[in-house]
Homo-oligomer: A and B are copies of this chain.
Amino acid sequence: MDHDRAKTMLQSFHGCRPMRGTSFLCALLLAASAWPLAAQMPADPLAFVDPLIGTGPEGHTFPGASAPFGMVQLSPDTDATCQIRECYAHAAGYSYHDSTIQGFSHTHFSGAGHSDLGDILVMPQAGAVRLDPGDPERPGSGYRQRFSHDSETAKPGYYAVTLADSGIRAELTAGERVGIHRYAFPAGQEAHLLIDLRSSLYDYPGKILWSGLHLHPDGTLTGFRETRGWAAGRKLFFAMRFSAPLKDHAFIDRDQAVPYKGFQAPGRGSDALAEKLGKALEARLDFGRLHGPLEVQVALSGVDESGAIANLDAEGAGFDTVRRRTEDAWRQALGRLKMDAPEPMLRNLYTALYHTLLAPSIWSDIDGRYRGPDDQVHVAKDFTFRSTFSLWDTFRAEHPLLTLVQPERTTSDVVNSLIASRDHSPHGILPVWQFAGRETWTMIGYHAVPVIADAYLKGIRGFDADKALTAMVASADHAPYGGLGDYMKLGYVPIDREPEAASKTVEYAFDDWTIARMAQAMGRGDVAQRFLARSGNWRNSFDASTGWLRARKADGSFRTPFDPTAINYGSDYTEGNAWQYSWFVPQDQAGLFRLLGGDARAIAKLDAMFEYDMSKLDYSHAEDIAGLIGQYIHGNEPSHHVAYLYAYAGAPWRTQARLKQIVESQYKPTPDGLSGNDDLGQMSAWLLFTALGFYPVTPGSNQYVIGRPFVRRAVLTLPNGKRFTVEAENLSDANVYVGAVELNGRPLRRSWIADGEIRKGGTLRFTMQAKPNRKWGAGAGTRPYSLSTVPIGR
C-alpha cells in the first residue's frame, strides 16, 4: 500500500477529511496508532501468500500457478501413478512429503476430498527421453525427477523448481485459460518435452476413454482427452505452442491391447506424424540444443480444440507478460481485503484468501462457449460460466465470503452458472458437486439453493431471479434425488430407503428455509409458505427423548442400534455422526435449543462435544475425518458452524474461547498447516470470517454471528467504493475474550451484525480482554436471531 492510499484509508476510518483540515484528534490518531497500523498492513499481499500451505497430507491444495478463478491450475504432480482409493494424499497431484516430480499438469482441485484431473502432463527431459514415469525409489528409472524444496518457489501465479536429476529449471505461470511453462535446459543438452496423456489423478484402469494429438502446420499442437473419472465422460481439449521450432517429434500409442488398430495414417512406421488417436498416447517433442529457455504456452477448453486455439490466441503471451498480468490480478483480488495481523497469522490469512479465490473456476471459453452438464456446447451470454462447485462444503462460508470480496462479478457469475447448469441438466436440477460442467453426484443436499438465496437476499443482482427461484424449487421437488420423494411425503428421509437419511433430512430442511426466504423477498408468498413449512422438517428426525438427530425408518421408528460416535460410509449420517449433525439447524437454533432442554443444556452439550475423550475412538478408516477437538471435527464441514452456537445460548464468550482453540490447532502457515481438505475454499473462508470476528452461521439470513477477531485490523473494500473496517484493540494471545464491540463508534450490544451494515461501510471495533465478558450478548434481544424472528431483506 502506498503512502497516499494508506492516508486516505485512515482518513476514512477516523472521519478525518483533508478538506476540513486536519484536526488535532486526527493528527493524534495518525501519529499514535494509525500510521503504525498502516505500516503493518502488507505493502504487497502476494508476499504473504504461501501456496505450499495445505500441500501436506490433509489440505489437498496445490502449489502451482493459477490466476484468480482460472480454468488452468498448472502445478507439479509428485505422484499421478497411484490408483483411486490409494492416493488420498495426492488428490491435488502434489504431496509436500514426496521427493520426486512426475510432471506438470494443467488442472487441479484446490482441496477437494475426492479427486480427478491432472490433465495434460508435460515433463521436460534433457538428453535421453524416457517414456514412463518410473519408480520414485529408483532415480533414473523413468522420466520422474528428484527435487528439493530448497529449489522451490511458490507464489500466486508462479511456481518454480529445479529438477535435480537433469538440472532443468522449471517455471510455471498461468492466465485465466492459459498455462505458460518455461524450461531452462542445461547447456549443451538436447531439449525434449514429453506429453503423457495417460497421466491422470485418481487413476484406475479404463479411466481414459479416448484421447488425441494433432500437430498443425503452424507448429501448434492440439489434443484432447476424454475420461470416465469422478465426472463420467469428461472432455478436455488443449492447444500448445512453443517458443522454439520442433526439430522432430513422435506420437506414440502405448496401448498394448488394441484389438483393432484400423488402417494406418500417413507417417513414419506406425507413428502418425500429424495426428494420433488412442487411449494411451504420448508425444515426444524434440527441440535440439537451445540457446535459451523454452517457453510453452498452453490453453485449455472444454468445448473443442478450436476453442483451445482461440483461448490461446486471446490469452497466450510470453512467460513474463502472463506472470505480470496474473500477479496484478491477484494483487487486485487480494487487495479487496487488506489485513493486518501477527506474522504467522497474516500468512495463514492471505493464503486462505488466495485459496478462496481459486474456485468456482472459469469453464467457458473466451467466446463464451462451454460444455454443460448435458455434454452439449452452450454459450454464456453476458456472464462467464463457472464450474467446480463443491456446494456441500462451500455454501457455508466460501460463497458468503465471495459475496463480500467478489460481489459484483463472481457471485452473479456463480448464480448465472448455477441457473444455466440447471437449464442444461439432464435431471432438471441445480448442481450438486459439479466440475468441468459435469455433475458428479457427490455429497448430499441441494446446496446451490442457499448459495443463490444468500446472494439474492444480500442484494446481489445480474441474474434472473424468477428463473433462479424456479430452479431452486425444481431441485427441492425432484423426487428421484436422494430420497426427496419420501421426504416430501413423510417429512423426513427414511433410512431404510435412503442412506445418510438423518443428514439429508436436516440439510434439506435448511435448504428449504432459504427458498422460503428468497420467495418471501420476491413476494412469492405461496412458495415461501410451502418451503417455510418444509423447513421445520428437521424436527421429524430429532429424537426429543435423547436430544440426538437420528435416522428414522419409513415406519416412523428410529433406527437401532444407535451409536452417536460411529462414523461409517452409508450410515445414518454423511461423513460424520450424531455429535456433529445434531447441531445442523442453522435456520432455527433457538428451536433446537428448546428441544435440547434450554440454553444451559445446549451449552453443556456443546462443551461435551469439544471435550469428548477420544482416546478410545479411531476414525482413521474414514476419509475427511481430521482436525479433531473431541467430537468437534474441524477438518470436515458439518462442524464448521458449531463453535458459534454458544452465542445463540447467550454465551458468546464460550464461542470466543473455542475459536482460539480451533484457530490455533487447525491452521498453521506450513505445508501440513491445514487440518482438513481446504474443500475449494471452505476451510479457508472459515478462517477468514473467523479472523474478521464474525461468521455466516445461517446463509440466507443476512446475519453474521460475532465471534472474536484474529486480525489487528482489516479493511474490506466494496465495489461501491465503501469500506468496512474491523479493528481489534488489545489483541494479544492472552486477550482471548471480547470485552466490548462498537459499530461505527457506537456500542454494539448484540452478538451479530447484519450484511447491510457491512455493505454500507463502517467500522467494527473490538476491544479484547483476558477475562470473559459474560454479559455481552447474553440478553434475549442480543442473541443471533432464529427462524421465528428472521426479518426478510437487509
Q: Is A442's CB under 8 angstroms from B233's CB?
A: no
Among A210, A217, A263, A426, the most chain B Cβ lie within 10 Å of the Cβ of: A426
**Which residues of chain B have C-beta atoms less than 8 A from A33's C-beta?**
none
**Which residues of chain B have C-beta atoms less than 8 A from A374's C-beta?**
214, 275, 305
Among A205, A260, A305, A482, the most chain B Cβ lie within 10 Å of the Cβ of: A260
Q: Does A244 contact B (CB under 8 A)?
A: no
The complex places the Cα of A701 from the Cα of B207 at a distance, in Å, of 54
Q: Is A277's CB under 8 angstroms from B441's CB?
A: no
The complex places the Cα of A266 from the Cα of B484 at a distance, in Å, of 10
Q: Is B209's CB under 8 angstroms from A426's CB?
A: no
The complex places the Cα of A275 from the Cα of B372 at a distance, in Å, of 14
Pick the contact of A265 from B228, B264, B266, B427 — CB < 8 Å? Answer: B427
Q: Is B375's CB under 8 angstroms from A212's CB?
A: yes
| Chain A 237-275 interface residues, beta-carbon cutoff 8 Å to B | 257-260, 262-268, 273-275
Pick the contact of A426 from B229, B268, B275 — CB < 8 Å? Answer: B275
Q: Does A84 contact B (CB under 8 A)?
A: yes
Pick the contact of A217 from B217, B263, B428 — CB < 8 Å? Answer: B428
**Which residues of chain B have C-beta atoms less than 8 A from A215's C-beta?**
426
CB distance from A660 to the nearest CB of B (A): 37
Q: Does A35 contact B (CB under 8 A)?
A: no
Among A305, A376, A441, the most chain B Cβ lie within 10 Å of the Cβ of: A376
**Which residues of chain B have C-beta atoms less than 8 A from A442's C-beta?**
263
Q: Does A295 contact B (CB under 8 A)?
A: no
Pick the contact of A228 from B206, B233, B260, B306 — CB < 8 Å? Answer: B260
Q: Does A39 contact B (CB under 8 A)?
A: no
Q: Does A439 contact B (CB under 8 A)?
A: yes
Q: Is A260's CB under 8 angstroms from B439's CB?
A: no
| Chain A 459-490 interface residues, beta-carbon cutoff 8 Å to B | 478, 480-482
**Which residues of chain B have C-beta atoms less than 8 A from A259's C-beta?**
204-207
Q: Does A792 contact B (CB under 8 A)?
A: no
Q: Is B262's CB under 8 angstroms from A230's CB?
A: yes
- Which residue of the partner chain B has the closest CB to A426? B275
Q: Is B441's CB under 8 angstroms from A265's CB?
A: yes
Among A217, A262, A304, A377, the most chain B Cβ lie within 10 Å of the Cβ of: A262
- Mask of A173-213 contacts with B, CB within 8 angstroms, 1/0: 00000000000000000000000000000001111011010
Q: Does A132 contact B (CB under 8 A)?
A: no
Pick the contact of A264 from B216, B268, B375, B441 — CB < 8 Å? Answer: B441
The complex places the Cα of A212 from the Cα of B216 at a distance, in Å, of 31
Given A84-B260, A260-B204, are A232 and B439 also a contact pair (CB < 8 Å)? no
Q: Does A406 contact B (CB under 8 A)?
A: no
The complex places the Cα of A206 from the Cα of B207 at a distance, in Å, of 13
Q: Does A153 contact B (CB under 8 A)?
A: no
CB distance from A608 to the nearest CB of B (A): 34
Q: Is A232's CB under 8 angstroms from B262's CB?
A: yes
Q: Is A376's CB under 8 angstroms from B304's CB?
A: yes
**Which residues of chain B have C-beta atoms less than 8 A from A306's C-beta?**
376-377
| Chain A 344-402 interface residues, beta-carbon cutoff 8 Å to B | 374-377
Pick the contact of A268 from B216, B480, B482 — CB < 8 Å? Answer: B480
Q: Does A440 contact B (CB under 8 A)?
A: yes
- Mask of A407-442 contacts with B, CB within 8 angstroms, 1/0: 000000000000000000011110001000001111
- Which residue of the partner chain B has the closest CB to A438? B277
Given A217-B428, A267-B480, are A262 and B440 also a contact pair (CB < 8 Å)? yes
The complex places the Cα of A205 from the Cα of B306 at a distance, in Å, of 32
Q: Does A152 contact B (CB under 8 A)?
A: no
**Which residues of chain B have C-beta atoms less than 8 A from A212's C-beta?**
233, 375
- Mask of A270-308 contacts with B, CB within 8 angstroms, 1/0: 000111011000000000000000000000000011100
**7 tightest A-B contacts by CB?**
A275-B426, A266-B481, A263-B441, A266-B480, A274-B427, A232-B277, A274-B426
Listed A/B pairs (16) with beta-carbon separation below 8 Å: A84-B260, A209-B209, A210-B233, A212-B233, A215-B426, A231-B262, A232-B278, A233-B277, A263-B441, A265-B441, A266-B429, A266-B478, A266-B480, A266-B481, A266-B482, A306-B377
Given contacts A204-B259, A210-B226, 19 further A-B contacts (CB under 8 A): A207-B260, A209-B210, A217-B428, A228-B277, A229-B260, A230-B262, A230-B263, A231-B262, A232-B278, A233-B277, A263-B440, A263-B442, A265-B441, A266-B429, A266-B480, A267-B480, A275-B426, A304-B376, A377-B377
Interface residues of A (CB under 8 A from B): 84, 204-207, 209-210, 212, 214-217, 224, 226, 228-233, 257-260, 262-268, 273-275, 277-278, 304-306, 374-377, 426-429, 433, 439-442, 478, 480-482
